[in-house]
């Protein structure tokens, strides 16, 4: 039997690694590491050591496979079936394809209770080589040929994709290949989180109930083996997005994260899908109320009352005199105290809220720009365009084009 790893083979792997910055690892037949370009600082941040990481991959594959890990990576596994070869397996990777989205990373870290690793993990994924599957396969063929002066055996040059060894413990893997399962419309979901961001308690629950009744989509599966776990993971993702919406709405980040952590703990104690369904409404209410409370605390009672009145009457041709009459003070006096507390004039605030509302209509409806301008009582479309661009640096048409595929990210 030949020696497991000659200096010549090691030189080949080092040269390949210098040429193509992808990790290479060789194991013996007992699964021990003979050679690797992985180092402890370069491995996935949720693993303690290179050995720990390799152990998670080593499932003694009998044929070449692309392993999809539970952490959005891919690794090519090649068994050594050559006669007189004491090598066990060759691992090439990890690589990424596709690059995980921020939302996926946040959901995973929430489940792992390691939110503090967010920045480290994002940097880790950016450090990995992006490769398509066919490129990874070609690299595997090249590596095998340089090591053994042979191409991969017939039938082994097209690998299977395997995630069975990690799916047993992988509750955060999003199945993107199931037939007839569609992800929900991101624009509709975005509107729910917009209500949270606005602190709009009156609308958020009503809209969520209507949204969740829709039958033209199904949720993606977050756990193939456990329906209850899948429901909990979907709710964890909801809590993650609601946390971000609350922060955008003005809640102090630490308070928002603390609420998110407490809700996840409450979620984990639930034992059936019906409880989880009701709990989702509780989550939305809690975060929206947090935003509304933050807004009430930020300003005096009179200014808060002004803001609520403005939001309620945006489509009624709202004016400063109408607001002043509602709160029972002189318009000029109201404008002065409003500017002192809020930092912008009352007319600018009305304008800003109108533009915020216009943005929602542009994103979530097919209403024409003329209709939107008219609903919000802009004198004409030209004036609407001028004010819209003042607040967004885009014309309404440019804004609509930029948000045709808008998602909450």
CA nearest to 219, candidates 189, 251, 252, 194 = 189
- The residue among 47, 49, 75 whose CA lies nearest residue 61 is 75
Rg (CA), the chain: 28
In a domain, 162, yes or no: yes
**pLDDT value of position 350:** 92
pLDDT at 155 over 50: no
pLDDT at 15: 82
Mean pLDDT of the 264-283 span:
87
- Residues linked to residue 130 through DSSP beta bridges, in sequence order: 96
Among 298, 317, 332, identify where a domain stops.
298
Residues 44, 147 within the same domain:
yes
Is residue 215 located within the same domain as residue 289?
yes
Query: 376: domain range?
Result: 301-402
114 and 16 in a common domain: yes
Residues 115 and 144 in one domain: yes
Residues 253 and 314 in one domain: no
Note the pLDDT of residue 178: 32
Is residue 1 a part of any domain in this protein? no
* Whether 82 and 103 share a structural domain: yes
Shared-domain flag, residues 67 and 162 = yes
Task: Based on the fold, state whether residues 163 and 204 are members of the same structural domain.
Answer: no
213, part of any domain:
yes
pLDDT band at 184 (very low <50, low <70, confident <90, very high): very low
Residues 334, 351, single domain; the answer is yes
Give the distance, in angstroms, between the CA of residue 311 and the centroid of all CA atoms in the same chain: 30
- Residue where one domain finishes, among candidates 273, 298, 323: 298
Same-domain check for residues 22 and 116? yes
Q: Which tokens go with 348?
A: 């600018």
Question: Can you tell me the mean pLDDT for 388-404?
Answer: 88
Of 112 and 269, the structure prediction assigns the larger pLDDT to: 269
Domain-located, residue 181:
no
Structural domain contains residue 267:
yes
pLDDT at 374 over 80: yes
Flag the least confident range among 73-87, 353-367, 380-394: 73-87
pLDDT tens-digit series, residues 73-128: 899 988 876 554 557 888 998 998 877 777 777 777 776 666 667 777 778 888 88
Question: 248 and 111, same structural domain?
Answer: no
Q: Give residue-wise pLDDT tens across range 8-36.
A: 888 888 888 887 889 999 888 888 888 88
* Proportion of the chain above pLDDT 70, given as a percent: 78
Show the tokens assigned to 291: 């935003």
Assess whether pLDDT exceeds 90 at residue 43.
no
**Total domain count for the chain?**
3
Evaluate whether residue 177 is within a structural domain. no
Q: What is the per-residue pLDDT for 188?
A: 55
Residue 343 and residue 213 share a domain: no
Domain final residue, candidates 298, 318, 336: 298
Looking at the domain assignment, is residue 407 inside a domain?
Answer: no
Q: How is the beta sheet containing 160-162 ordered, strand by strand?
A: 33-36, 24-28, 87-95, 74-79, 65-68, 160-162
pLDDT at 137 over 90: no
Provide the CATH number for the domain around residue 347: 1.10.10.60
199 belongs to a structural domain: yes
347, 383 in Cβ contact below 8 A? no
């Amino acid at each position: 039997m030949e020696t497991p790893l000659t200096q010549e083979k090691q030189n080949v792997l080092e040269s390949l690694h210098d040429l193509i910055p992808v990790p290479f690892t060789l194991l013996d037949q007992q699964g021990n590491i003979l050679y690797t370009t992985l180092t402890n600082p370069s491995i996935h941040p949720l693993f303690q050591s290179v050995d720990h990481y390799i152990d998670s991959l080593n499932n003694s594959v009998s044929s070449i496979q692309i392993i999809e890990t539970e952490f959005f990576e891919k690794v090519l596994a090649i068994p050594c079936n050559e006669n007189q070869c004491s090598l066990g397996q060759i691992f090439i990777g990890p690589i990424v394809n596709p690059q995980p989205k921020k939302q996926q990373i946040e959901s995973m870290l929430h489940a792992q209770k390691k939110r503090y690793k967010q920045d480290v993990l994002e940097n880790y994924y950016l450090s990995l080589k992006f490769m398509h599957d066919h490129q990874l396969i070609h690299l595997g063929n090249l590596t095998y040929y340089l090591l053994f002066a042979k191409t991969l055996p017939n039938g082994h040059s097209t690998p299977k994709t395997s995630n069975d060894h990690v799916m047993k413990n992988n509750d955060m893997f999003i199945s993107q290949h199931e037939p007839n399962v569609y992800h929900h419309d991101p624009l509709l979901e975005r509107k729910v989180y917009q209500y949270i961001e606005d602190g709009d308690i009156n609308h958020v629950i009503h809209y969520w109930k209507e949204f969740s009744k829709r039958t033209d989509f199904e949720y993606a599966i977050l756990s193939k083996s456990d329906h209850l776990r899948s429901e909990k993971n979907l709710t964890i993702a909801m809590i993650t997005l609601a946390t971000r919406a609350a922060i955008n709405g003005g809640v102090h980040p630490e308070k928002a994260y603390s609420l998110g952590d407490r809700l996840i703990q409450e979620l984990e104690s639930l034992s059936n899908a019906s409880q989880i369904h009701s709990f989702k409404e509780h989550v939305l209410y809690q975060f929206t109320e947090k935003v509304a409370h933050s807004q009430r605390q930020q300003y005096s009672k009179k200014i808060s009352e002004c803001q609520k009145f403005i939001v309620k009457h945006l489509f009624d041709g709202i004016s400063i005199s109408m607001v002043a009459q509602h709160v029972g003070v002189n318009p000029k006096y109201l404008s002065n105290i409003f500017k002192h507390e809020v930092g912008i004039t009352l007319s600018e605030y009305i304008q800003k809220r109108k533009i915020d509302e216009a943005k929602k209509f542009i994103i979530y409806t097919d209403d024409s720009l003329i209709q939107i301008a008219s609903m919000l009582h802009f004198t004409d479309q030209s004036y609407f365009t001028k004010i819209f661009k003042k607040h967004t640096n885009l014309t309404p048409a440019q804004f609509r084009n930029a948000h045709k595929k808008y998602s909450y990210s």
